[in-house]
Each structure stands twice: as C-alpha cells, then as structure tokens.
C-alpha cells in the first residue's frame, strides 16, 4: 500500500496500518519518560489499546497515545476534516476555518508533494518519541555508553550506531530521506521549546543550517507532534492546536525560514510580547516577554498579571530572571534551559485553584532557585545547560498556598 492510500482508511484502520508499517512503534507501548502534564494513565478508551495488543500495553504509555493522535491530526488536516481536528476545542479558542485552510495548504505543499515526502512525514511523526522509550534508553546505554542530552539526540545517535533496531527506517525511507531524517534529529531543535520560550537563540543554529527543504520537512513533523501533545487527555481531536497556538507555531516556523537567521529568536519573542502588551525594548521587557511565552500567554490581561507578579519579586530575583532570560547561548555564556518550565507554571496555577498570579509567583521563585543553583557551577562558553524540572512540575500541581508562602518567604531571605 502506498503512503497516500493510508489516508483513505478510516481512523482506526489508518492507525493500525501505520503501526504495522513501522514496527518500531511497538516500543512506544512500554515504559517511557512521559510528559508531566495531564493524566499519567491511559484511558480505557485510548487508541493505544485498540491499535496494539491490550495485554502488551503499559498503562502509563501516554506517549503512544500522543503519537497516535498526532498521526490522526496529520491525516485530518491532509483530508480536510476540520470538524474532526477542532471538535474538542472550546468555541472561544477554536482554530478558525481560515487558519485550518492555511495549515492544510502548508502541510500539503511540504509533506504531501510526493509519495516519498509523505512517507517521510508519516514515519517521522510515528517515531518522533522513540528516544523517550525505556527500550531505546536501554539500548543506547548498551551501545553508546555516554548519556544523551535529550531524546532527539539519543535517537540520532542510536539510529547511526544501531540501525538494525529501526527496520522501517531502512525499508520505507529512501537513502536521501534517511539522511534528511538523521540530520533533522541531529539539529536538535525542539520547535515546541522555541514556541514556548524555553530554549535560546543558539538552539536554532543547527536547524537553520539545514537546507530549506530539509528544514521544512522537519518543522512540519514537529508541528504535528505538537498537535497531538494532549492526545492522552482527549484523543478525539487536537485539543492543543487552537487559534492562538496555531498563530504561535506559524510565526515560529516563518521566523526559522527567514533571514537574517541570527535574529529569528529575538523576532519571535518580540511578537509574543506584543500579543500580551509587553514592551520588549529593554532587557527587563524581553525577560517578561519570555515569561509570557513560558506561561503560554496570548492576551493583554494575562500580560498585565505577569507585570503584577513581576513587581512583587525582590530586586535580586528580578535581576536574576532578567539576566537568565536575556542570555542567547551564543555570546560566551551558556543558557540554562529549564526543560518543562511551562509545565511548572501551568501546574502551579492548577495547584493554586486556577489562580494564575499565585501560581506564577510560586513558579518563578522555584525556577529562580534552579537558575541560582545551576549558574553557580556553570562553566563559561557558548551553548546550553539543560535542566529537567519535570519533578518540580509534578510537585507544583500538588502545592498548597501555605507551601507557596513558605517558599517565597525563604527565597526572599
């Protein structure tokens, strides 16, 4: 069956056919390093239980569910199924039909221009999170010994050292597309981290160094990886690709394809600051714009709340955050990438009963502590130090206001 013929199948048949086509997907149903947001246990109605043998599925295999929903989102966009794609979104945030049409046109142009590029995108979306699986982590440890910085680099190294572990990669992709896939992994750009203001200008350099065709193929796959990111919460559509998030992702992709390359990150953060009414002409303003991006903020009312919280911070904490959030990683000083910082803010807000200002205040003090501790031992030089704060995100979800007050009091002394 040709790749394009898969799109004509109904949703469940499509997922089963893709899983059979790319057998390495089977590793997704085992243990994995999963996102700290959302329900950590698969729902009984999950696609994962319908696609794979129920008894083989690890109940915590939410990365498998997210992957399957990402694949469905890709199918729904290419087959112009607006209602399926957006049906789970609230009316006030729903992706507009005009934006969906733009997304369809972009995806068709980049991903579906040939059978080979369509195959590439299906494989990339299906196998994007293999580096998070315990299987690949274990195999990487056996064969390569040294730990990888993140799951993309782990998969990048393992594909080169042990291609026998990835039978569909060798069978389904042409040699030229195999090379593009490996180069895309090696570029190690997490588009979601750029969109959420987690990473730094230096994180974009390797992706921007790719030729435009390779870059666009990687970016469209990352776009759909994001579209299914809340698949374990609701698997009936793209809960996350709302109008606001589509605008953010499309802006980021445009900047990554635009010259001069060295200002792409700055241009993106400036645009995000403008959306929430934050002036980014000063270092402090740029820091607040990045905080707005980390907080997934899109409206001036949230921007005003961020300013209120900022004004309550001690001068030392403001100075620390301004410095850390203005570092590029390209000017002789390493940036500190707090992986899952947006989850810390989101979970802290939930942990404070939905009070954004209380949640953000708690989160900023926690993240400032991580910055302080990490910077104390950081060596000079270009690049990024990645600190996984997923444990803090889980803790933030359960924190009470009393604990928050204690932490803030201690941080100010």
State pLDDT tens for residues 261-304.
889 999 999 999 999 999 999 999 999 999 999 999 999 999 99
Instruction: For residue range 223-266, list pLDDT tens digits in order.
Output: 999 999 999 999 999 999 999 999 999 999 999 999 888 899 99
Which pTM does this prediction carry?
Answer: 0.85
User: What pLDDT, on the 0 to 100 scale, is given for residue 409?
Assistant: 55
Cα gap 94→60, rounded to integer Å:
29
Task: Kindly state the percentage of the chain with pLDDT values over 90.
Answer: 88
Give the CA dihedral 74, 77, 80, 86, nearest 10 degrees: 110
Residues 30-49, mean pLDDT to the nearest whole number: 85
8 contacts: CB under 8 Å, gap ≥ 6: none
CA 383 to chain centre: 20
pLDDT above 70 covers a percentage of the chain that reads 95
pLDDT at residue 368, as a whole number:
98
pLDDT of 406 reads 57
- pLDDT, tens digit, 9 for 90 and up, residues 174-230: 999 999 999 999 998 989 899 999 999 999 999 999 999 999 999 999 999 999 999
């Amino acid at each position: 069956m040709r790749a394009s013929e898969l799109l004509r199948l109904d949703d469940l048949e499509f997922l089963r056919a893709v899983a059979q086509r790319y057998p390495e997907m089977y590793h997704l149903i085992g243990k994995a390093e999963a996102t700290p947001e959302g329900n950590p246990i698969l729902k009984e109605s999950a696609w994962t239980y319908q696609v794979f043998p129920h008894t083989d599925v690890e109940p915590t295999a939410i990365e498998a569910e997210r992957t399957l929903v990402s694949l469905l989102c890709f199918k729904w966009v290419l087959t112009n199924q607006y209602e399926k794609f957006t049906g789970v979104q609230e009316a006030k945030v729903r992706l507009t039909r005009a934006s969906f049409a733009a997304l369809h046109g972009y995806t068709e142009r980049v991903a579906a221009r040939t059978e080979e590029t369509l195959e590439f995108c299906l494989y990339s979306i299906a196998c994007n999170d293999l580096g998070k699986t315990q299987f690949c982590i274990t195999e990487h440890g056996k064969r390569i010994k040294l730990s990888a910085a993140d799951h993309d680099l782990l998969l990048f190294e393992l594909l080169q050292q042990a291609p026998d572990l990835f039978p569909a990669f060798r069978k389904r992709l042409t040699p030229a597309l195999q090379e593009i896939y490996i180069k895309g992994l090696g570029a190690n750009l997490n588009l979601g981290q750029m969109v959420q203001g987690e990473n730094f200008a230096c994180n974009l350099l390797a992706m921007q160094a790719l030729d435009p065709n390779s870059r666009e193929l990687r970016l469209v796959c990352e776009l759909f990886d994001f579209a299914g990111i809340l698949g374990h919460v609701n698997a009936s559509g793209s809960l996350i690709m709302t109008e606001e998030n589509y605008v953010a992702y499309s802006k980021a992709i445009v900047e990554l394809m635009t010259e001069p390359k060295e200002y792409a990150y700055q241009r993106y953060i400036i645009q995000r600051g403008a959306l929430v009414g934050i002036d980014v002409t000063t270092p402090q303003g740029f820091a607040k714009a990045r905080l707005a991006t980390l907080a997934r903020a899109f409206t001036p009312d949230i921007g005003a709340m961020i300013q209120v919280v900022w004004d309550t911070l001690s001068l030392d904490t403001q100075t620390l955050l301004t410095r850390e959030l203005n570092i590029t990683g390209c000017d002789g000083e390493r940036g500190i990438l707090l992986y899952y910082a947006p989850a810390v803010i989101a979970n802290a807000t939930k942990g404070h009963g939905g009070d954004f200002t209380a949640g953000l205040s708690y989160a900023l003090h926690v993240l400032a502590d991580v910055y302080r501790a990490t910077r104390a031992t950081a060596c000079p030089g270009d690049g990024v130090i990645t600190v996984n704060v997923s444990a803090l995100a889980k803790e933030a979800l359960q924190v009470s206001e009393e604990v928050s007050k204690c932490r803030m009091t201690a941080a100010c002394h």
